[in-house]
Amino acid sequence: MELSELSNELTNLMIEIDTGIAIVRINRPDFLNALNRQLLEEIRRVIDCIGRSPAVGGMIITGAGEKAFIAGADVSEFFSLDAVSGRVFAEYGQEHICNAIENLSKPVIAAVNGYCLGGGNELAMACDIRIASTKAVFGHPELKLGLMPLYAGTKRLQRLVGFGRAKELILTARMVDADEAMNIGLVNKVVEPKKLLSAAKDMMSMILDKSPRSIHYSKMAINRVADMNIDDACEIERSLAGILFSTADKAEGVDAFINKRKPCFSDR
């Protein structure tokens, strides 16, 4: 199914395609864009479709309205969950949402425009880059509910902010503003609210000027080597780099550099 066809079937997401960039808006502003089962399923379908679409080079995820990116999960759905169904719920968010975003062959930027809490922060951390509005607020309030992060937030948060800081933020459930999030490494950039989407588009355009396969392999290498020792990490890197040396994109990029022209990449 084409992305344009899929968008007609969605009730909780809005999709816009702008010069090869898919802008995906979480569209439940009356509920602070909280993640319910239907929204999670729609996100999964969009990720799958974007991964297959030759017309889309990268994805920007943001929230509709001014108050929230994603203010966590829809807590009203938690009443029916027990040990078994709760585990299934966690696995779905881990594998079909956050891991799917992290492992997508195309770059993903989170444009965080307000509350980014719990599962919302876990989704944002699965993105390759996070750009925050000055009004953005980040946190993990799960312990206040007698729960804990469940979409691999315990892992991704410590990768970004460090072991001790991750424990602090999760165990205290303290919220941090955009400036602090920038200072501790949770976000890459902070901009004024009116400039948020344009800043995300500008950064994505800078990425998409590069070889699509180089983007894919670089993202793959960074993800895979994150927890490896240096020898294993080097093996992954040289293996992927070796493949790139055989591609049309390498030939085009080198020729363009030598002849002082802009490359025209096509190898996917």
Residues recognised as catalytic: 122, 142
How far apart CA 264 and CA 249 sit, in angstroms, is: 8
Rounded to 5 degrees, what are φ and ψ at 50? -65, -40
Cα 10 to Cα 13, 27, 107, 222, 266, distances in angstroms: 6, 10, 22, 32, 31
DSSP strand pairing (176-177 vs 137-139): antiparallel
149 half-sphere exposure, CB direction, 13 A CA radius: 27
The residue whose two tokens read 């999670």 is: 40
One-character DSSP codes across 41-107: HHHHHHHHHHHH-TT--EEEEEESSSSEEE-SB-GGGGGG--HHHHHHHHHHIIIIIIHHHHH-SS-
Tell me the CA end-to-end span of the chain in Å, nearest whole number. 20
Adjacent-strand bridge partners of 17: 22
Q: Burial, 123: exposed, middle or buried (Cβ in 10 Å; 0-12, 13-18, 19+)?
A: buried
Non-local CB neighbours of 226 within 8 Å, separated by 6+ positions: 159
* Residue whose C-alpha is closest to residue 138's, from 102, 164, 174: 174
Identity of the amino acid at 213: R
